[in-house]
Amino acid sequence: MLTQELLDILWDFSDPAGSEDRLRQALLSGRYDDVEQAELATQIARALSRQGLFDEAKEVLDEVAESPASQEPVVWARVLLERGRILNSYGHKTLATTLFERGANHAALHGLIFLGVDALHMLAIADPAHAEGWTLKALDLADNAEDPRTAQWSISLHNNLGWHFDDAGDHWAALHHFRLAKIAADECGTDAQKHISQWTVGRCLRAMGRYEDALEIQEELDANDPEDPYVKDELNEILRAMAERGPDDDDGS
């Protein structure tokens, strides 16, 4: 069974073509057993899908599904996930939801916690009417995970809930989850996750009219990374809002 840490090295979501090349090189290296090779193949399918090469991705997954390695729980869980992702990309939300539910149940049955969280996270995307419930189930797994890599899911899951409430206009609930995402990022996240989670807290504070608090956060981020255009945009938005605010207006705190 492949470690998620290895897949993290091979994967770059901003460069699916490069990810495909690295995964294919790993597959041809001879270092992995049949089950691990099947896992790598499912990730090649994912990389193909992210490039819009859905027919090629489906062919790869069909080959894996017909192989003896598909009898291994981890391989079948990944097949279900990647088939669901392809269907979701096509806009077939109902069919994708069915596959993600099967993937989540299969992962739970076999103790594949990381993949179970992934399936629940995808359910929240494919089934937005029940996104909050799916995400809370995923958080229950991630927040209690002993594996640090699985625990990292808490960052993106709380972030997703934050945007869910932000879109609904409930900024207090959004801020609560954005702050929990930041706490999780500070505990087990990458530098990029720490940066993004802090930015998101600041952005939410601006939406709430707490301009001074938002400004302090974005100025700190700008000092640490002067090239981030999103921080620059937020700084401009905050300064514009402060300039437009009347002298008798409070800061929303």
Q: What angle do CA 80, 86, 92 make, to 5 degrees?
A: 100
Average pLDDT, the chain: 94
- Per-residue pLDDT of 43-52, as tens digits, reads 999 999 999 9
Residues 174-191 pLDDT 10s: 999 999 999 999 998 999
Give per-residue pLDDT as tens, 223-234. Answer: 999 999 999 999
Q: Same CATH fold, 152-253 and 1-131? A: yes
Count of alpha carbons within 13 Å of 218, Cβ hemisphere only?
24
Compute the distance between CA of residue 50 and CA of residue 16 in angstroms, rounded to an integer: 6
Confidence at residue 246, expressed as pLDDT on a 0 to 100 scale? 66
End-to-end CA distance of the chain: 50
Among the listed ranges 90-94, 104-108, 245-249, which one has the minimum average pLDDT value? 245-249
The owner of tokens 């929240």 is 124
* pLDDT surpassing 60 at residue 105: yes
| Angle in degrees, 0-180, between the axes of helices 16-28 and 34-50, rounded to the nearest 10 | 160
pLDDT tens-digit readout, 126-161? 999 999 999 999 999 998 888 888 999 999 999 999
pTM score, whole prediction? 0.87
CATH of domain 1-131: 1.25.40.10
Provide the pLDDT for residue 21: 97
Residue 67 confidence (pLDDT): 97
DSSP letter string over 19-82?
HHHHHHHHHHTS-S-HHHHHHHHHHHHHHHHHTT-HHHHHHHHHHHHTSGGGGSHHHHHHHHHH
- Ordered by start, the domain boundaries in the chain are 1-131, 152-253
The CATH H-level superfamily of 152-253 is Tetratricopeptide repeat domain (1.25.40.10)
